[in-house]
Structure 1
Amino acid sequence: MNYNQVQKEITEEISNTLGQINSESIAELLSEIKKADKVFFVGVGRVLLSLKAVAKRLAHLGVKTYVVGQITEPAITERDLLIVGSGSGETGFPLIIAKKAKQYNAKVVHIGANPDCSMKEYSDHFVRIPVSTKLQLANEIPSVQPMTSLFEQSLLLLGDTLALMLIREQDIDMPSLWEYHANLE
């Protein structure tokens, strides 16, 4: 198989997917991030890896971010935000954590592909990445990639898009961001 053909298929899928995310839902997510004292992230598997990268990038911008389960995770409060990554909205651990966050009156934003899911009971806001899920629902963008790769890739790039939006909105000098970069490496 030809590398150039395969990478073109993947990047076109990602571009198509990001272009179909509702911009108003992104504006609402950005607003919630800016209002929150602390922003927590929860997901599993490759989704969690993408969310960890988003948390790290937002931390570079001065946002107080925490990944659920990290050893230095503080208590969540009514002034905080939990961002849940789950394509299907049915993954057990994120559902349990979202329910718990609501018990402490935190805001919950679900980023997923399935708007009609169990997570909607606990979510204050939903951002849809309209890709194929393990549920194979109608109106999903099909992918040539295995399993839910397109969701995880789109989630990561959505996070980078949010970061650049914050940088531009707050007129942050990009070279100054290095002061927030890890320096014990």
Structure 2
Amino acid sequence: MKQSFDSTQQIVVDELKNTMNSIDELQVESLITAINNTEKVFFVGVGRVLLSLEAIAKRLAHLGIQTVIVGEITEPAITEKDLLIVGSGSGKTMFPLGIAKKAKQFGAKVAHIGANPESPLSEFTDVFVRIPVQTKLYLPDEIPSQQIMTSLFEQSLLLLGDTIALMMVKDQNIDLKSLWQYHANLE
């Protein structure tokens, strides 16, 4: 029997709604404060998580925030005035973990958006936002998902980024039309 589009998309939407309703608002507000009190915001992750982080970096750039993807050819030096946002569900992924450790050596603040509050990243994290969804660790308090692998984490990460951007727009009373000045214009 074929699975219908309607019933399948409803699974995805319901899981996202449940997840977004489970994110701690105080943790999100702490991340927004960290973003607002920094010079540059760096992002690091791997795979599909990196894709979501790149979209968040672009959205924050639309708000006039200087954003950097770790590893890009034009990446500047990180300093104590900057923030590194690490996306990692498990908090155990080697590359983001190593970058977080190095960022702390340069005095930068580190924010971790992940599912595992007890991860090795917690040693280097100043701000933690938990997306409490099923990861490869299958922790007992994770929100289960019928989706492939960690799709729910990556989707929720992207929605969290857009939610944060909208919160910042509303908090700062930014006129949405004025944001087009930051949009790419060599297209």
Which TM bucket (shorter chain)?
over 0.9
Deviation of 1:112 after TM superposition, in Å, equals: 0.2
- Aligned residue for 1:72, secondary structure, equals coil
Instruction: Give 2:85's aligned amino acid.
Output: I
Pairing partner for 2:57 from 50, 55, 58: 55
d(CA) in 1 for partners of 2:110, 2:136: 23
Deviation of 1:125 after TM superposition, in Å, equals: 1.5
Name the residue aligned to 2:18. Answer: 16
Name the residue aligned to 1:155. Answer: 157
Structure 2 unmatched runs, 5+: none
Identical-residue share of aligned pairs (%):
64
Alignment of structure 1 residues 115-126 onto 2, 5 Å? 115-126=117-128
1:63-108: CA deviation from partner (whole Å, max 9, x where unpaired): 1100001111111000100000000000000001000000001000
Name the residue aligned to 1:169. Answer: 171
Please provide the CA RMSD for this pair: 0.5
Name the residue aligned to 1:114. Answer: 116
1:124-177: CA deviation from partner (whole Å, max 9, x where unpaired): 111100000001111000001000000000000000000000110111111111
1:26-72: CA deviation from partner (whole Å, max 9, x where unpaired): 01000000000000000000000000000000000011100001111
Deviation of 1:15 after TM superposition, in Å, equals: 0.7
Instruction: Give 2:132's aligned amino acid.
Output: P
Instruction: Give 2:62's aligned amino acid.
Output: H
Name the residue aligned to 2:48. Answer: 46
d(CA) in 1 for partners of 2:56, 2:104: 22
d(CA) in 2 for partners of 1:145, 1:183: 37
- The number of equivalent residue pairs is 185
Instruction: Give 1:92's aligned amino acid.
Output: M
Structure 1 unmatched runs, 5+: none
d(CA) in 1 for partners of 2:178, 2:39: 22
- Aligned residue for 2:111, secondary structure, equals strand
Q: TM-score, normalised by structure 2?
A: 0.98
Alignment of structure 1 residues 6-155 onto 2, 5 Å? 6-155=8-157
- Aligned residue for 2:68, secondary structure, equals strand
